[in-house]
Structure formats: structure tokens, C-alpha cells
Structure 1
Amino acid sequence: MDAATLLWGVLFGSIGVGFFMYGKKQQAAIPLISGIVLMIFPYFVSNVALLVIIGVIFTALPFLIKR
């Protein structure tokens, strides 16, 4: 694990915590699930490029899917 992987993981994990709290408070499934995925997936992805791509997709998902 290098510094870039660690910093991207912390960034996406922090965004995930925010989405999780928002989704739980508003009872919205998409931000809740996106937040959980953003908090967990950095533990399993070690490639920095793949980490950023997946993180950007799940960060944008609640804005693209409105329910």
C-alpha cells in the first residue's frame, strides 16, 4: 500500500460517511448504499487508478439517480 492509495481511500471513505449519514437520516436508499460501498471498497482495491474510477462513480451515483 502506498501513500496515494491511502489518501484516496481516506477521501472516498470520508465522502462515504457523509453519504451514509445523509441516506440514513433521509431514508434514501441510493446515498445509503453508495456511502456503504465508498467506506468499504478501498480495503479491497489496491490499484490507484481503479480506486479513483470506482470512487468517482459511486460519488456521482447519488447525484445521477434521483429518487
Structure 2
Amino acid sequence: MNASTLLWGMLFGSIGLGFSIYGKKQQAIVPLLCGVALMVFPYFVSGTAWLVIIGIALMAVPYFVKV
């Protein structure tokens, strides 16, 4: 683990916290689940490139999936 993975993980975790708070207040399940996923997935992904790809994909899901 290097500094870039730590910083990217912290960034995606912060964005995930925002998504989860928004999803809870609006009672919207998709942003809530994506927020929790954004906070948890950096613990399981070790490569920086995969971290960024998965993080961007999880941030885009609430935009494209409307339930």
C-alpha cells in the first residue's frame, strides 16, 4: 500500500459518506448502497488503477440508476 492508494481511498470514502447521508435523508436506496460501497471497497482493492476505476463506476451508478 502506498500513499496514492491511501489518498484515493480517503477521497472515495468521503464521497461515500456524502452519498450515504444523502440517501438516508432522501430515503433513496441506490445512493445509500453506493455510499456504503464507496466507504468499504478501498479495504479490499489494493491496486491504485482498480481503486480509481471502481470508485468512479460506483459514483456514476446513482446517476444512471433511478429507482
Alignment TM-score, normalising by the size of structure 2 = 0.96
**1:6-25 paired onto structure 2 within 5 Å:** 6-25=6-25
Which residue pairs with 1:65 in the alignment? 65
Number of residues paired by the alignment? 67
* 1:45 counterpart SS class: coil
Superposed CA RMSD: 0.6
* 1:53 maps onto 2:53 in alignment: yes
* 1:46 counterpart SS class: coil
Runs of 4+ aligned structure 1 residues displaced above 3 Å come to: none
In structure 1, what is the Cα distance between the partners aligned to 2:48 and 2:40? Answer: 15
In structure 1, what is the Cα distance between the partners aligned to 2:11 and 2:61? Answer: 16
Deviation at 1:43, TM superposition (A): 0.7
For structure 1, the 5+ residue unaligned runs are none
Deviation at 1:66, TM superposition (A): 1.8
